[in-house]
Amino acid sequence: MALPESLINEALRRGIDLVDLLSRALNLDPSERSKVHLQLAENFLREGEDLVDKDPIQASEKLYKAAEEAIKAIAVSLNLDEAKNAEIQGRWTTVLLFDAVDSISMKLNLKEVRLWWGRAWFLHVEGFHEARLKPRHIKEDVEYVKRIINLAKDIIRT
């Protein structure tokens, strides 16, 4: 069954995280929720890479969404306060995402996470919202998105 696009768009407009909403409704445990976020991250990465030369604006957003889902996956897997707060609020806010990145960086003693996230955020703002990036600019930042996803894979599969 496919959800009506208007319903999905309205949920996204309101900042409702459909994965978290459905996960709660289905009473999925954190391990399963983190895997779903990781699966979404991998899907967004593939879609983003496929769009770089055809539609750099959408590619930028897909790549950012890949990084966002990977951060959510890590936060849920590590049982971070930010993931708990997102669950209580029913959505992930920008503040929660940035705080989760900081918590991940500190908890794992991996400062690079902040750099990787910063490049994904750059794609979101400059590539999607401002539409200023050319395919060559986007291609340079794909590796940072992949690093966040690989980190999520390492954490979730261990």
pLDDT tens, residue by residue, 67-91: 999 999 999 999 999 999 998 888 8
Structure confidence at residue 102 (pLDDT): 98
Structure confidence at residue 106 (pLDDT): 98
Smallest CA-to-CA distance from 71 within 22, 19, 138 is with 19
Q: How many Å from the N-terminal Cα to the C-terminal Cα in the chain?
A: 33
pTM greater than 0.85 = yes
- Phi-psi group of 18: left, alpha or beta (phi > 0 → left; psi -120 to 50 → alpha; rest → beta): alpha
Structure confidence at residue 4 (pLDDT): 84
Stretches where the chain sits below pLDDT 70 are: 1, 12, 158
- Alpha-carbon distances, residue 38 vs 9, 109, 112 (angstroms): 21, 21, 19
Q: How many CB atoms lie within 10 A of CB 50?
A: 13
Structure confidence at residue 1 (pLDDT): 66
Fold annotation for 5-156 = Four Helix Bundle (Hemerythrin (Met), subunit A) (1.20.120)
